[in-house]
């Protein structure tokens, strides 16, 4: 909870961005999976994991299996957001594994079941077969009769695969990310990926060529998807390096990265530096190096097999 309103039209609402709770559990799960301290997990399980996972398992709409409405990661709109859904799934999945690790089989079963219901809800309610891509959110109807899909293209749809709910190569993710690449990439100025269609924040110009200002993290999210889906070292280098170079061109002389960039001058807009931009750059660079090594090794093994 932060500065979001507790009331709307005279009715109480929960003023939270649930993804921020979810990502703490996901991060704890990742830390432990990569060799975390078992005693630390036992301590954190009762203090952090269990209460947070209990909340997320229960704070859901029984009709959809998805989280109840909250605020999005951009802190702008209230609904059931694809990014939040993916983060909650990842948190519940991680909580189930951590519960099993500490011997809490009852809660492990509860969290795993809730995660499965969240995933089924995303399959059924976030995917739009007619559009051929995922919706960025389900917007609650004023009469509370249900939700309407918001098909605005939003770079945060990256979360659908980033936290593991879907594979980056899932055909539905591919069609969604392809649409983002085609329609959020600026066709004016120096390019880059806008946050979402008709983004008003620090707006310089809105047009078919400029759906919004390019954001560093959004450009890196596209790069992350390309890292995960590249089929060869050559493809990886051809598609990802230009995006990393785009980010580097927009760093300050001191190497500091802004939140977003003026689409025409290339100058920084809004916050600079932004730790989020720096973290995303490091993450994509590490992923790029690991993928390049793996693809080159695969190519070498294939060459040996053919030669043999």
Using pLDDT thresholds of 50, 70 and 90, give the confidence band for residue 11. Answer: confident
- This prediction has a pTM of 0.95
pLDDT at residue 214, rounded to an integer: 98
Helices (H), the chain: 18-33, 38-44, 50-58, 82-101, 105-121, 159-162, 171-184, 216-229, 233-249, 275-307
Using pLDDT thresholds of 50, 70 and 90, give the confidence band for residue 185. Answer: very high
pLDDT per position as a tens digit, 188-247: 999 999 999 999 999 998 898 999 999 999 999 999 999 999 999 999 999 999 999 999
Q: Which domains does the chain have, with CATH numbers?
A: 1-165 (1.50.10.10), 185-308 (no CATH)
pLDDT surpasses 90 at 6: no
pLDDT per position as a tens digit, 23-46: 999 999 999 999 878 899 999 999
pLDDT at residue 293, rounded to an integer: 97
Close Cβ partners of 76 (under 8 Å, ≥ 6 residues apart): none
pLDDT surpasses 80 at 5: no
pLDDT at residue 12, rounded to an integer: 77
pLDDT at residue 308, rounded to an integer: 65
Close Cβ partners of 57 (under 8 Å, ≥ 6 residues apart): 92, 110, 111, 114
The secondary structure of residue 201, as a DSSP letter, is T
pLDDT at residue 36, rounded to an integer: 79
Round to whole Å and give the CA distance between 299 and 235. 13
Round to whole Å and give the CA distance between 175 and 13. 34
More confident residue, 190 or 126: 126
Question: Are the C-beta atoms of 219 and 243 separated by less than 8 Å?
Answer: yes
Q: What is the mean pLDDT of the chain?
A: 95
Could you tell me what percent of the chain has a pLDDT over 90? Answer: 86
pLDDT surpasses 70 at 100: yes
């Amino acid at each position: 909870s932060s500065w979001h309103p507790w009331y709307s039209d005279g009715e109480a609402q929960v003023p939270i961005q649930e993804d921020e709770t979810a990502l703490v559990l996901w991060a704890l799960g990742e830390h432990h999976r990569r060799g975390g301290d078992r005693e630390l997990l036992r301590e954190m399980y009762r203090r952090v994991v269990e209460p947070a996972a209990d909340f997320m398992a229960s704070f859901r709409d029984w009709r959809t299996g998805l989280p109840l409405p909250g605020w999005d990661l951009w802190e702008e709109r209230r609904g059931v957001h694809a990014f939040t859904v993916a983060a909650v799934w990842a948190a519940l999945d991680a909580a189930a594994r951590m519960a099993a690790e500490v011997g809490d089989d009852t809660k492990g079963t509860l969290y795993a079941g809730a995660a499965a219901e969240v995933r089924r809800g995303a399959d059924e309610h976030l995917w739009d077969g007619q559009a051929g891509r995922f919706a960025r959110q389900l917007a609650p109807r004023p009469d509370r009769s249900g939700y309407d899909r918001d098909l605005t293209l939003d770079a945060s749809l990256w979360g659908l695969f980033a936290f593991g709910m879907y594979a980056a190569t899932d055909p539905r993710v591919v069609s969604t990310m392809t649409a983002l690449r085609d329609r959020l990439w600026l066709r004016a100025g120096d390019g880059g990926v806008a946050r979402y269609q008709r983004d008003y924040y620090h707006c310089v110009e809105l047009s078919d060529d400029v759906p919004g200002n390019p954001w560093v993290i959004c450009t890196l999210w596209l790069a992350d998807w390309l890292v995960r889906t590249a089929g060869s070292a050559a493809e990886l280098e051809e598609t990802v390096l230009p995006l990393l170079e785009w980010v580097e061109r927009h760093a300050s002389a001191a190497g500091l990265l802004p939140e977003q960039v003026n689409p025409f001058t290339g100058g920084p807009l809004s916050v600079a530096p932004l730790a989020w931009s720096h973290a995303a750059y490091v993450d994509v660079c590490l992923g790029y190096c690991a993928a390049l090594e793996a693809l080159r090794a695969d190519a070498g093994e294939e060459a040996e097999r053919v030669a043999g």
